Structure 1
């Protein structure tokens, strides 16, 4: 029974990650600015989550601080999406999604500075490997793409924004546990409010869909990618080990790279493929949560005692 539940959760997590990867394909093909696309994605998902919260009878948290933290999480998520969209337009879905996945290292830095979480040697090693992998990806890209600098900067910074968004989700739950639909509704509202001014300033004349087909793709992007994919991932993660989660989450940048190479004819040479594999391996290592030293020591002595005195 447990194996069946774990298998279902693994399948759900992989499907959710692949759907997220397919979302980058929509961004690449729909002629809407990156900031406007983030606005519409969050606005549409906000309506969906508001209806789900109403049906489920979920209420807003009583703590004003929890509401503020949720809105701040949404603001950072809005900047994450907008910068990721900009990176997609500059260097393609594959590289941009891989750069966005570096958020795990920003999370580690935030944990170290604000939550006094010590970093293991394995995590420091993974950071060095990731930097090497990004350099391997970037060197050919800078030689053949004039927009590479903008794409790499926005892609990496989008990862930092995503890490900040996740941090404020944690602070929200630390302040007051908040139901998932209400939380996502507040996050959507915060993101929409944060996107209004940048969208109007940066994406002038490129805010609205130009055809019914583009409108349909925007609706798909806001409902399927933000609601369905997020729901599958949120449902699956608590049911799996952290090691397996870290490994399966890599299906998102893998899917985006394959889409970029096969569907969008993005030139990716062998050095970049090697760099992508190295970066994903580093992300996987960085996702591993080391066992506390005391617990490892206890288990060692427990095994030693059982082997020699039982």
Structure 2
């Protein structure tokens, strides 16, 4: 029960990340930079305090850099999607990485898909149609672009997950916390360079923005992810997947409560179908992982 509550609390913390991005009202790459810089420095400090290794080789670091590139792209796209379509829908769209991960497995790893995945895919796309497709012609150009940014976020996150899995699967790999800390710092530098090259203002001028960036870096990037990585091995993977669906669901709730997102019956049904479809589509992968463990 304690592990379930811990995972629920971690999902709750991470679900607020899109809210902090919206509240800060900073340029997208700037908020991403502060999140990764604060989180990365804290994670590395924890590793140093616990005397964990932070070095393997130059080749290993270059592979982690690729992970950072994908995550920087993920934040670049996701933060822009948040600005255009709101925290809720942007987070839901980002969770489409489930389908891109499976597609990669089918195309390159000779994995097979079953009826659960196909049913989940159908439910998800019908739910997405209810959320945005029914009124697509009435949406303005920015909103449409935000939807595309959200789907592209899922693609970038897929690249992040695949490249991180490759790094962590190596013999003699660093701990998950060390990998996350180093990756976060490199990601922060990438986003900082992009922000400087595009002339984005790096100054934090309001208390709200400062508090939002601290919450994003400490609560979401460090506490939330550390709780998840430590708790996942203690629970059945099917339960983990179900509990983590709380994140996109709560992100939509926060969007309605704090940013006055209008929600009709079609939106509620659409959200329910999307979340159900994502869960169904990942059942096979979770069962295989559970058997393997």
TM-score, structure 2 as length reference: 0.91
Larger radius of gyration: 1
Give CA deviations for 1:154-192 in whole Å, capped at 9, x if unaligned: 111111111111111111122233212321122112312
Provide the C-alpha distance between the structure 1 equivalents of 2:174 and 2:281, rounded to a whole number of angstroms: 28
Unaligned runs of 5+ in 1: 1-6, 296-310
Task: Decide which of 18, 24, 28 is 1:30's aligned counterpart.
Answer: 24
> Helix, strand or coil: the match of 1:147?
helix
Provide the C-alpha distance between the structure 1 equivalents of 2:105 and 2:6, rounded to a whole number of angstroms: 28
- 1:181–1:242: structure 2 CA closer, same or farther, 3 Å change rule? closer
Native 8 Å contact 2:30 2:200 kept in 1 = no
- 1:213–1:264: structure 2 CA closer, same or farther, 3 Å change rule? closer
Native 8 Å contact 1:78 1:195 kept in 2 = yes
Matches within 5 A, 1:140-219: 142=136, 143-176=138-171, 177-202=173-198, 204-219=199-214
Provide the C-alpha distance between the structure 2 equivalents of 1:126 and 1:251, rounded to a whole number of angstroms: 17
Structure 1 stretches of 4+ with a deviation exceeding 6 A read none
**C-alpha displacement at 1:253, in angstroms?**
1.0
Provide the C-alpha distance between the structure 1 equivalents of 2:168 and 2:63, rounded to a whole number of angstroms: 9
Which residue number in structure 2 is paired with residue 304 of structure 1? none
Matches within 5 A, 1:263-274: 263-274=258-269
CA RMSD in angstroms, aligned pairs only: 1.9
> Helix, strand or coil: the match of 1:274?
helix
Provide the C-alpha distance between the structure 2 equivalents of 1:206 and 1:149, rounded to a whole number of angstroms: 26
Native 8 Å contact 1:136 1:272 kept in 2 = yes
Native 8 Å contact 1:49 1:184 kept in 2 = yes
Whether 2:236 is the aligned partner of 1:241: answer yes
Which residue number in structure 2 is paired with residue 299 of structure 1? none
> Helix, strand or coil: the match of 1:175?
coil
**C-alpha displacement at 1:200, in angstroms?**
2.5
Unaligned runs of 5+ in 2: none
| Larger displacement relative to structure 2 (108-117 or 213-222) | 108-117
Whether 2:51 is the aligned partner of 1:57: answer yes
